[in-house]
Structure 1
Amino acid sequence: MVKAMILTVSDTRNLETDKSGLYIEQALQEQDVTVVDRQVVIDDQVDIQTAFLQFEQREPDLIITNGGTGLAIRDVTIPAITPLLKASIPGFGEAFRELSFKEVGTRALASRVEAGFNFRNQLCYCLPGSTNACKTAMTELILPEYQHLLFERRK
């Protein structure tokens, strides 16, 4: 049984208004992934890292963040999470931007997304806060491939 945790980074959303986090949760559950927890934290580097590290301690297979990946000064998810990843998966960002380019044009260039394995070898994804972007990432990249990536890392 695969276990996942979802962390939404937002200054304006809460669990009730977090459409992207809810979408990710439902998409995972449809694939028989158990969502152990879903939380919302503000766009603050220390708060993001604290929540992420607390998630790690609970030993999920997947940790998915959404939000805080843009270029605004308050968007600090990528600088918060990148140092916590032991091995990155650069193809994820490349593929996501290519798919996004087809949907939103050159605005895709401003999309900072990340995937990799943390020091506990849990598969981690950092997605934008846009529900449409989360749908693209989940349906086109994450759901078709996460089991293979976990298998490869654990063999």
Structure 2
Amino acid sequence: MSSPTAHEHKHHAPRSIGCMVITCSDTRAPETDTSGRLIQQLLKDKGHHIAAYHLVKDEPAEIKARIAEAITNESVQAIIINGGTGISRRDSTFEAVDAMLEKRLDGFGEVFRYLTYQDIGSPAIMSRATAGIIKGRILFSTPGSENAVRLAMEKLILPELGHLVKELTK
């Protein structure tokens, strides 16, 4: 018996995923959160729905509170966070997220940095983009720039979102 192909796996995946989008920024306001809007638009364009959106300061307690809200919201199957993944003193998203993950998807960060390297070169090593599983939800954490968000969404997240959620229900 042959193993199913990636196409076959994706064929049986849910077509519409409930997503919470979180932007972590000390400087953005809802009207200037172009990356958060881009994530939401790209999700909607692929038939997914936005169960919740939050713009929070890059403070671990605030980030953890929004994630905790997501895992108690039955309409949220995926959490997509942008911002706070760099190495400056104020960048604390990675620490907040990493402490909550039950399983890590190391390949997401590795491939994201590889694709970023192809685009911008060696500054890609400063990204701490990550992904994993928390309480039956998939969580992605990307840098906050529009280019980084577009790359992560179009090349990695959107092609696999339904498949990942399907795998979590096995």
TM range (shorter): over 0.9
Aligned residue identity for 1:114:
T
Alpha-carbon offset, residue 52 of structure 1: 1.5
Matching of residue 102 in structure 1 with residue 118 in structure 2:
yes
Matching of residue 18 in structure 1 with residue 36 in structure 2:
no
- Which secondary structure state, in structure 2, belongs to the residue aligned with residue 68 of structure 1? coil
Structure 2 partner of 1:69: 85
Alpha-carbon offset, residue 147 of structure 1: 1.2
Equivalent-residue separation in structure 1 for 2:151 and 2:17 (angstroms): 21
Alpha-carbon offset, residue 57 of structure 1: 1.4
Matching of residue 27 in structure 1 with residue 42 in structure 2:
yes
Could you list the runs of 4 or more consecutive aligned residues of structure 1 that deviate by over 2 angstroms after TM superposition?
none
Q: C-alpha deviations, 1:102-150, integer Å up to 9, x for none?
A: 11100000000111110x2101000100010000000000011111111
User: Normalised by the size of structure 2, how large is the TM-score?
Assistant: 0.88
Structure 1 partner of 2:58: 43
Matching of residue 154 in structure 1 with residue 169 in structure 2:
yes
- Aligned Cα root-mean-square deviation (Å): 0.8
Aligned residue identity for 1:22:
R
- The within-5 A match list for 1:73-92 is 73-92=89-108
Report the count of equivalent residues.
154
Matching of residue 125 in structure 1 with residue 140 in structure 2:
yes
Give the structure with higher Rg (CA).
2
Alpha-carbon offset, residue 84 of structure 1: 1.1
Equivalent-residue separation in structure 2 for 1:51 and 1:121 (angstroms): 16
Equivalent-residue separation in structure 2 for 1:50 and 1:149 (angstroms): 24
- Which secondary structure state, in structure 1, belongs to the residue aligned with residue 163 of structure 2? helix
Equivalent-residue separation in structure 1 for 2:54 and 2:167 (angstroms): 28
Equivalent-residue separation in structure 2 for 1:91 and 1:77 (angstroms): 19
Identity fraction in percent: 38
- Which secondary structure state, in structure 1, belongs to the residue aligned with residue 96 of structure 2? helix
Equivalent-residue separation in structure 1 for 2:58 and 2:79 (angstroms): 17
Structure 2 partner of 1:57: 72
User: Normalised by the size of structure 1, how large is the TM-score?
Assistant: 0.97
Aligned residue identity for 2:100:
L
Equivalent-residue separation in structure 2 for 1:150 and 1:3 (angstroms): 10
- Which secondary structure state, in structure 2, belongs to the residue aligned with residue 28 of structure 1? helix
Alpha-carbon offset, residue 62 of structure 1: 0.6
Alpha-carbon offset, residue 47 of structure 1: 1.1
Alpha-carbon offset, residue 31 of structure 1: 0.8
Matching of residue 144 in structure 1 with residue 122 in structure 2:
no
